[in-house]
Amino acid sequence: MSFLSPPAHKPRIEGDIDGRYSALRWQVFIGAFIGYAAFYIVRKNFSMAIPMLADFDITKGDLGLALGANAVAYALSKFLMGSVSDRSDARKFLPLGLILASIAMAFMVVPITGLDLINHPERRGLAITLMAVLNFLVGWFNGMGWPPCGRVMTHWFSQSERGTWMSVWNCAHNVGGGLVGPMATYGAVWFGSMFYGQNEQLYFLAGTYLFPAATAFLIAILAYLLLRDNPQSCGLPSIEEYRNDYPANYSAKSEEVLPVKEIFMKHVFSNRLLWFIAISNAFVYMVRYGCLDWAPTMLSDKGIDIKSAGWAYFAYEYAAIPGTIICGIVSDKIFHGKRAMPTVIFMTLVALFIGLYWYAFNMSDPSLTLIVWCMIGIGFFIYGPVMLIGVQALDLAPKNAAGTAAGFTGFFGYFFGTAILANWLVGVVADTMGWDATFGMLLVACVLSIVFMLLTVGKEQK
C-alpha cells in the first residue's frame, strides 16, 4: 500500500554529520529493540496457557496443533512479508504489525469465555479451531517484526560491526519473551478479578493474553516515534559511505528498491549457502522451541507448580542475553565475520545441557534448582546460533534483499523447525511415547544443525 512506501532520500545535511548520525543510530536502535521485544510479549503466550487449558480436557496433541498454527503463520509471514518489508518504510511497517498482533492476542480469550467452555465442554472442537485461527493471526502479524528490524540494522550498521550490534539487538526477544512468564503470573493476580470476578479458573486469561496485549499496543506507538527507515531519508550518507565499510557484494544498486522477482530469483533461491543455513535453522528452532514451549507442561507433569515453571521460562529467556552478546562478539572479533563456527560450537554446548536436563528430569525427586540451571544453560547457548543464522542471511544478500533472505531462513526455522517438529511432533511424541523420546529427538536435532552448518564453513566469506 502506498502509505507504506519507503521515504524519499533528502538532500545531504550540512554541519555535524557525525553527531547527527551517532544520535540517530542510537535512537533507531532503541526503537528497533523495544519494538521487537514487544512482539515477543504477544507471541508465544499460548504455551504459558497450555497447562491451564488442559483443565478443559483438551489433549496435548490438540493444543500442539493450535500452537503450531502460530509457527506456520509466522514462517509464511516472515518470508512473504519480508519481501514486502524490503519495499516498505520500516518506521510504519513495524508498529502496524505490532498493533495488529496485540489486537489478535487480546481476542485469544474468546475461545474460553465467548464459547463458555466451562459450562459447555462439548464445544471443545470449536474452541480448538478458534484457538488455531487466532494463533495463526498472532503468528502472521508477528512475522511483520523481524524483517523491518533487519532492514533497519542493515541500513544503519555496516557489515563489520553488524554481528556485535545485532547480538545486542537480538536480546530484545529474550527481554520480551522472558516477561511472558512473570506477566502471566502477576497479571492474573492484578487483573484477574477485574475481568472475571470470582471465577478464578479464568484469571489466567487476563495475565496471559490481555495484560501483554495492552502493553505491546502502547510500545508500538513509542516505536513509531523512535524509528527511521534509512540514513538517506534523514539527509545522511549511506552507512557504507559513512564508515567506509563496503562489503564485497555492495553496489550502488544496493540502495535501490528491487523488483520482487529479482529479490527471490537472483538473491535468495539461487544462493546455495542460504539453503544450508536455512535447513540448519530448522533444527536449531526445533531445539529452541522444543525446550521453551513445552517447559511449563513438562514441569507441571513432574509436579512442579506453574509459578515455578513460569520462572524457569523466565530464566531460559534471560540467560540468553549474555550468551547472545558473547556469540556475536566472538563472530566479529575472533572469527572476523564468519558465523558458521561459532554456531557449531554453541550448538555442541546446547546438546550437553540437554543431556543434563534429561538426567535431572528423570531423577526420582526432580530438583527444580538443577532443572532451572539446565534451562539457563540451554538458553545461554541456543540464542547465539538463532541470532547468527539471521546475521548470516543478511551477510549473504545485498541489503535491499536482506529482509527476504532472513525471511527465507526464518521460514525453515518456524515452519519446519517450530510448527512441525517442535510443536506438533513433540506434542504427539510426548502423548504417545513420553518425554524421554522427546529429549532424544532434541539431541538428534542438535547434531543435524551442526552437520548442515559445517557445509558452509570456509565458503560463507567468499
pLDDT at 258: 61
Share of the chain above pLDDT 90, in %: 28
Residue 306, pLDDT > 80, answer no
Per-residue pLDDT of 128-144, as tens digits, reads 889 999 999 999 999 99
User: How far is it, in rounded angstroms, from Cα 400 to Cα 390?
Assistant: 15
pLDDT band of 415, cuts 50, 70, 90: confident
User: How far is it, in rounded angstroms, from Cα 133 to Cα 70?
Assistant: 9
Residue 286, pLDDT > 90, answer yes
Q: Is 192 exposed, middle or buried (0-12, 13-18, 19+ CB in 10 A)?
A: buried
List of E strands, 273-400: none
Provide the residue type at 84 as one letter. Answer: V
Per-residue pLDDT of 174-222, as tens digits, reads 788 878 878 888 888 888 888 888 777 778 888 889 999 999 999 999 9
pLDDT at 254: 53
pLDDT at 1: 64
Alpha carbon separation from 257 to 8, 99, 392 (Å, rounded): 11, 26, 21
Per-residue pLDDT of 357-414, as tens digits, reads 888 888 777 677 788 888 889 989 998 898 889 888 877 777 667 677 777 888 888 7
pLDDT at 253: 54
If we measure between CA atoms, which residue out of 406, 448, 446, 453 comes closest to residue 75?
406
Average predicted confidence (pLDDT) for the chain: 84
Secondary structure string (H, E, C) spanning 241-268: HHHCCCCCCCCHHHHCCCCHHHHHHHHC
Are 216 and 105 within 8 A, CB to CB? yes
Higher pLDDT: 335 or 26? It is 26
Residue 458, pLDDT > 80, answer no
Residue 425, pLDDT > 80, answer yes
Per-residue pLDDT of 217-262, as tens digits, reads 999 999 999 999 999 999 999 888 888 876 665 555 555 566 666 6
Share of the chain above pLDDT 70, in %: 91
Per-residue pLDDT of 32-84, as tens digits, reads 999 999 999 998 788 778 777 777 777 777 887 888 788 788 888 887 887 78
Rounded mean pLDDT, 94-112: 93
pLDDT at 399: 65
Provide the residue type at 370 as one letter. Answer: L
